[in-house]
Chains A and B, each alone.
Chain A
């Protein structure tokens, strides 16, 4: 059986994986709408594909951070205070992005809309970049002291490895978003999205390979969980080839499932690879935060487990229902919300 600490580590991981899978495509849409949409109507069509969903997708992040705070307060405290500037940038992006969707359509002026389109672009570009950097830094290790305080310098957080991780995650989200667009839009913008997604196939494959290679050399993941990491790596390659196959044959639904699976595999292998550590200390291995020394007490974890087990089925149920209600394609020849 699971211990409560393991259960909560799993839950936090699932919430992060869910966040990247779901908001991954809406970040992707946010990045392409400005460029692939040739006129205002087409841009609105792109944004409308995620209209009813993006807000709930973002709650996956809020829940992940909330669960992290509740179940592993030391992880939460060390990571957030230690990578302060990165989180400020993340929050500024999310703030700008969130209001941009709501404000964009409220004034019928091109300059107004252009300005918000740029906010959406940067607001969708930065978060996956920042999370890619953060996840990579978690794996590589950060200067956590014996008292769990972390005084990370710029190069501890931003270096070749983490930048590669950031770029890879951003590109994967972009790709995932483009494929999402192929199942939610029609006609020419659908074809255009598919074409760009095809062009990204070799680029992303290369990035994924480079990042896996760097992970092999820069982190302990492959030595700690060698078999698991290798299996995931080969399954990943297989899924990626399938994605390419489905894309070329215009099986968009299946292609989307594969691009999602790639994201799920990447992020969950990060969390599985870290286990049972949550924050690797680059100073001394014994200073690392683990699912035990960073966690809340047993009683607290138990209470929250009850709450989570009672609530999650409903959350999943009505979210799936909302995707079902809005299952139809967005037609950009009609009027739209944004």
Chain B
């Protein structure tokens, strides 16, 4: 089999799996940090219970996120060695800084947080979880710096047959990064928030741990509402940036073959036929496409046919149109779910302020299902971002087919795909099992046990005294 396709399958599957855990970790640890702060400030034991219970779920999730993340760092070299050689000069730096600045911080302070409940003062212990949260955000920032570079290469020039960095500051101020980063972080906060509201909704429906569930719901729904609105706003910013820098991705995500004309109408659904380069049974909303792209009700958005001609003139013969159906539908799934999350945030806040949360069974049931929405939304968002960039791996500079490791055989790739998929499948089953188990145990279960380690100090003992 074709090693390009196999390498892509490998990358797509392992990355999407990794990205189930990442946003939940970033979101949950942020909420746990808020809860522990409330505990330290208000001295209300309920908040401590919350920090411990949700913190427990965070830890299980974080473990899987970390181990699946290690693979990510290695597979550029293993499967995409030509890519690594071509961009290592630029792409490697954010990755190295990510490890130094973010990973060390996360892992060290998480260790201190888990084992430090009675070793550290309350404030210091609380500071540890904030540093973990900050670490996860730094980590997202630097990995998105690297990703933004692939979408919109800046701060480098083509030298000695590879891309060489000449302005690190431009890399950090990449416009693409500054639309991608807020959107991703807010999406992560929403993932954590809707996870907590969802699980709390289950408790409320089952009439278990009522006070605990209500308070958790309260904290989370506020984060959910704010990040829900933020996702919509930052998503809009991103579309505006996209039409400037990657018009082909924009056109594909709109299923737009010919130029839209001004004002452009937005396509709600369409039956896309890539082979004939046309759509049938389209439903359109006038003016909306111009607004999404330019923030005003006029302006034409270029279509794929024209862009294909432009790109052929600029980059030579080839097919520059990405898989249109995938891009089109993943965009709609992402945007649709974003809208739903926004609405649920508003609805929930409304119910809460009227003190009618527990009475609305319908709302609580919807919230339970809504746990899945941010996960589906962010996966769809990434599919759109990465598939929509094809055939490029680094936009305008390197095609995906040229990026793979020439020496790696299809057999080796199959071996790794099969073994990682098998491992990941087992992990997924265990994760779900453990999550359900922990949630069933509930917050009243004694999470204290692990911290009482009474012991003696080896430094005062004979261990270091050579002449005793």
Give Cα A307 to B172, complex, Å.
13
Instruction: Please state if B76 and A307 are interface contacts (CB–CB under 8 Å).
Output: no
A-B residue pairs in contact (CB < 8 Å), sample of 22: A51-B111, A55-B110, A58-B107, A76-B77, A81-B81, A85-B412, A88-B419, A99-B427, A103-B60, A103-B63, A151-B407, A251-B465, A251-B466, A252-B458, A296-B164, A300-B90, A303-B165, A325-B120, A326-B119, A331-B454, A335-B449, A337-B114
Give Cα A53 to B455, complex, Å.
18
Instruction: Please state if B434 and A315 are interface contacts (CB–CB under 8 Å).
Output: no
Instruction: Please state if B116 and A103 are interface contacts (CB–CB under 8 Å).
Output: no
Give Cα A151 to B407, complex, Å.
6
Which of A65, A102, A299, A315 contacts B59, CB < 8 Å? Answer: A102
Distance of B60 from chain A, by nearest CB (Å): 6
**A79 contacts B by Cβ under 8 Å:** yes
Q: A59-B99, A69-B91 known; 16 other A-B pairs, CB under 8 Å?
A: A48-B453, A56-B108, A65-B74, A66-B73, A73-B92, A76-B84, A81-B77, A81-B407, A99-B64, A183-B458, A303-B165, A327-B458, A331-B453, A334-B455, A336-B453, A337-B114
Give Cα A53 to B116, complex, Å.
12
Contact indicator per residue, chain B 76-119, by CB within 8 Å of chain A (1) or not (0): 11110110110111111101111111011101111110111001
Instruction: Please state if A51 and B88 are interface contacts (CB–CB under 8 Å).
Output: no
Give Cα A73 to B406, complex, Å.
16
Contact indicator per residue, chain B 436-458, by CB within 8 Å of chain A (1) or not (0): 01100000000001111111111
Instruction: Please state if B115 and A51 are interface contacts (CB–CB under 8 Å).
Output: yes
Which of B59, B73, B76, B455 contacts A330, CB < 8 Å? Answer: B455
Check A300/B100 contact, CB under 8 A, given A73-B84, A77-B85.
no
Chain A residues, CB < 8 A from B67: 94-95, 98-99
Chain A residues, CB < 8 A from B64: 99
Instruction: Please state if B164 and A299 are interface contacts (CB–CB under 8 Å).
Output: yes
Chain B residues, CB < 8 A from A87: 74, 78
Chain B residues, CB < 8 A from A308: 96, 100
Distance of A155 from chain B, by nearest CB (Å): 16
**B71 contacts A by Cβ under 8 Å:** yes
Among residues of B, the one whose C-beta sits closest to the C-beta of A329 is B455
Among residues of B, the one whose C-beta sits closest to the C-beta of A307 is B97
Give Cα A95 to B458, complex, Å.
32
Contact indicator per residue, chain B 404-422, by CB within 8 Å of chain A (1) or not (0): 0111100010011001100
Which A-B residue pairs are the 9 nearest by beta carbons? A73-B88, A70-B92, A80-B77, A52-B111, A102-B63, A253-B463, A81-B405, A81-B81, A77-B81
**B68 contacts A by Cβ under 8 Å:** yes
Chain B residues, CB < 8 A from A92: 419-420, 423
Check A52/B463 contact, CB under 8 A, given A73-B89, A98-B66, A106-B434.
no
Chain B residues, CB < 8 A from A37: none
**B459 contacts A by Cβ under 8 Å:** yes
**B464 contacts A by Cβ under 8 Å:** yes
Chain B residues, CB < 8 A from A51: 111, 114-115
Chain B residues, CB < 8 A from A326: 111, 115, 119
Chain A residues, CB < 8 A from B434: 103, 106-107
**B168 contacts A by Cβ under 8 Å:** yes
Instruction: Please state if B85 and A55 are interface contacts (CB–CB under 8 Å).
Output: no
Chain B residues, CB < 8 A from A28: none
Instruction: Please state if A84 and B419 are interface contacts (CB–CB under 8 Å).
Output: no
Instruction: Please state if A59 and B104 are interface contacts (CB–CB under 8 Å).
Output: yes
Instruction: Please state if B452 and A335 are interface contacts (CB–CB under 8 Å).
Output: yes
Check A296/B70 contact, CB under 8 A, given A88-B416, A253-B458.
no
Distance of B103 from chain A, by nearest CB (Å): 5
Check A312/B100 contact, CB under 8 A, given A77-B81, A99-B64.
yes
Q: Give the size category of B's interface with A.
A: 35 or more
**A318 contacts B by Cβ under 8 Å:** yes
Give Cα A155 to B109, complex, Å.
43
Instruction: Please state if B78 and A319 are interface contacts (CB–CB under 8 Å).
Output: no
Among residues of A, the one whose C-beta sits closest to the C-beta of B463 is A253
**B430 contacts A by Cβ under 8 Å:** yes
Which of A66, A80, A149, A251 contacts B406, CB < 8 Å? Answer: A149
Chain A residues, CB < 8 A from B68: 95
Q: Considering only CB atoms and an 8 Å cut-off, how many residues of chain A contact the other chain?
A: 81
**B2 contacts A by Cβ under 8 Å:** no
Give Cα A250 to B462, complex, Å.
8
Instruction: Please state if B96 and A296 are interface contacts (CB–CB under 8 Å).
Output: no
Instruction: Please state if A63 and B104 are interface contacts (CB–CB under 8 Å).
Output: yes
Chain A residues, CB < 8 A from B408: 81, 84
Contact indicator per residue, chain A 44-63, by CB within 8 Å of chain B (1) or not (0): 00001001110110110011
Chain B residues, CB < 8 A from A85: 412, 415
Check A99/B63 contact, CB under 8 A, given A69-B84, A88-B419, A334-B453.
yes
**B159 contacts A by Cβ under 8 Å:** yes
Distance of A239 from chain B, by nearest CB (Å): 15
Instruction: Please state if B115 and A337 are interface contacts (CB–CB under 8 Å).
Output: yes
Among residues of A, the one whose C-beta sits closest to the C-beta of B90 is A300
Chain B residues, CB < 8 A from A102: 59-60, 63
Instruction: Please state if B100 and A311 are interface contacts (CB–CB under 8 Å).
Output: yes
Give Cα A74 to B159, complex, Å.
15
Instruction: Please state if B99 and A62 are interface contacts (CB–CB under 8 Å).
Output: yes
Among residues of A, the one whose C-beta sits closest to the C-beta of B84 is A77
Distance of B102 from chain A, by nearest CB (Å): 9
Distance of B426 from chain A, by nearest CB (Å): 9
Instruction: Please state if B109 and A297 are interface contacts (CB–CB under 8 Å).
Output: no
Distance of B161 from chain A, by nearest CB (Å): 12
Distance of B468 from chain A, by nearest CB (Å): 9
Chain B contacts with A in 175-191, Cβ cutoff 8 A: none
Chain A contacts with B in 177-199, Cβ cutoff 8 A: 182-184, 186
Among residues of A, the one whose C-beta sits closest to the C-beta of B417 is A88
A78, A81, A331, most chain B CB atoms within 10 A: A81
Which of B63, B79, B98, B105 contacts A98, CB < 8 Å? Answer: B63
Instruction: Please state if B70 and A328 are interface contacts (CB–CB under 8 Å).
Output: no
Among residues of B, the one whose C-beta sits closest to the C-beta of A99 is B63
Distance of A56 from chain B, by nearest CB (Å): 4
**A96 contacts B by Cβ under 8 Å:** yes
**A223 contacts B by Cβ under 8 Å:** no
Chain B residues, CB < 8 A from A59: 99, 103-104, 107
Chain B residues, CB < 8 A from A30: none
Chain A residues, CB < 8 A from B103: 59, 62-63
Chain A residues, CB < 8 A from B427: 95, 99
